[in-house]
Copies of this chain bind each other. A is one copy, B any other.
Amino acid sequence: MSSRIPVAVLAATGSVGQRFIQLLDCHPYFKVVALTASDRTVGQKYGEACHWILPGDMPDWAREMVILPTAPESAALPLVFSALPADIAVDVEPAFALAGSMVCSNASAYRMAPDVSILLPEVNADQAGIIPIQQKKRGWSGGIITNSNCTSTGVTVALKALQDAFGLSKVFAVSLQALSGAGYPGVPSIDIIDNVIPFIKGEEEKVESEPRKMLGKIVGESIVPADFIISAHTNRVAVIDAHMVCLSVELKNSSSPAEVVAAFRSYQAPEVSRDLPSSPNPVIVVREEADRPQPRLDRMTGKGMATVVGRVRPDPIFGIKFVVLSHNTIRGAAGGSIYNAELIVKLGYVKK
């Protein structure tokens, strides 16, 4: 354990930051040595500054750490995890990359930049290959890799299996999203008890674009999105964790539900991503019950890192419809960034 890589968590007191702390507790590769948060809390102990909202207590090692400013001067370690909001990430993350840090970011600020990959190790490990291009173009010794929007994550894993097996043409996606995706305090309780909200700011745009980029490829110095189309409706529901998405998909080679199930079941992560500490195995779990997946029952499948699929059946317009579930703050946020970090360590992009 003495050889663990020292890492920082930027914006450690928020809801995603807390998940980073929880999931990095006893991580075999990484040791948290720096926590940053807003100026207001700099100098306080994490245990005092942070209103911990996860079940279970914060780890003792975190409780005593003193919060540092969110700046390369304080925390430019070889690897940093960013839970920054997008409007702050836009300036801070490049500063860290310039100072030599590999930034594994949960923010949306750079996701759609053509020289930044949205990385899902079980889907597009090859897009890590953009890192040297990015470093050269931007003059950085470090770099930025992002994980996708939490709703896009499970959707993209499932679509990847179909893209490989049958090709993709059109996708309809309607989400039922958990409250934790809105951060803390997030959605007022009075807005969601006995209710659903058919709107999440900026979300439909992300779901219509990010999966296409993740399923694209590096051409020259840019990542070129795959050429299928997505239409998304996004909704907030009274669920604590896990996003569920109803999908109707038109495949290039139309296929039966049984063939689609077989494609999900046989899908494997790229070789390089299979044995990382956070790798889900299997990548996709197919449930056969008529009424699954369900958020409360299935979100912890594969320690919250697996993509759960169910209700694979014919669609009268597009050919196939099914339901995807993914844990939004584990696979879709902090856990995803950590999985990305494990991959780029293995690929040698992190200085030791």
- Which of A's residues lie within 8 Å of B, judged by CB? 15, 53-56, 170, 172, 174, 176, 179-180, 184-199, 201, 208, 229-231, 233, 235, 237-240, 244, 246, 248, 290-300, 310-311, 315-318, 321, 323
Given known A-B contacts A231-B315, A297-B55, A300-B56, A244 and B196 have beta carbons under 8 A apart = yes
What CA separation (Å) do A185 and B230 show in the bound complex?
A: 34
B198 touches A310 (CB 8 A): yes
What CA separation (Å) do A54 and B172 show in the bound complex?
A: 31
What CA separation (Å) do A170 and B318 show in the bound complex?
A: 11
What CA separation (Å) do A199 and B294 show in the bound complex?
A: 10
Q: Which of B56, B194, B244, B292 contacts A193 (CB 8 A)?
A: B194
A191 touches B53 (CB 8 A): yes
Cβ of A207 to closest chain B Cβ, rounded Å? 11
Cβ of A184 to closest chain B Cβ, rounded Å? 6
Give the residues in chain B near A196, CB-CB below 8 Å. 176, 237, 239, 244, 294-295
A291 touches B246 (CB 8 A): no
B231 touches A195 (CB 8 A): no
What CA separation (Å) do A170 and B172 show in the bound complex?
A: 13
Give the residues in chain B near A230, CB-CB below 8 Å. 316
What CA separation (Å) do A199 and B318 show in the bound complex?
A: 19
Q: Which of B174, B188, B292 contacts A187 (CB 8 A)?
A: B188
Cβ of A56 to closest chain B Cβ, rounded Å? 7
Closest B residue to A171 using CB positions: B317
Cβ of A96 to closest chain B Cβ, rounded Å? 29
Give the residues in chain B near A189, CB-CB below 8 Å. 179, 186-189, 191-193, 238
- The contact sample of 30 A-B pairs, CB cut-off 8 A, is A172-B231, A172-B248, A176-B176, A176-B237, A179-B190, A179-B193, A180-B190, A185-B190, A188-B188, A188-B189, A189-B192, A193-B194, A193-B238, A193-B296, A194-B194, A194-B296, A195-B239, A195-B294, A195-B297, A196-B237, A197-B294, A199-B291, A208-B316, A230-B316, A231-B317, A231-B318, A233-B248, A235-B244, A237-B237, A240-B296
Given known A-B contacts A55-B297, A188-B184, A231-B317, A246 and B174 have beta carbons under 8 A apart = yes
Given known A-B contacts A189-B192, A192-B189, A294-B195, A321 and B233 have beta carbons under 8 A apart = yes
Give the residues in chain B near A299, CB-CB below 8 Å. 55
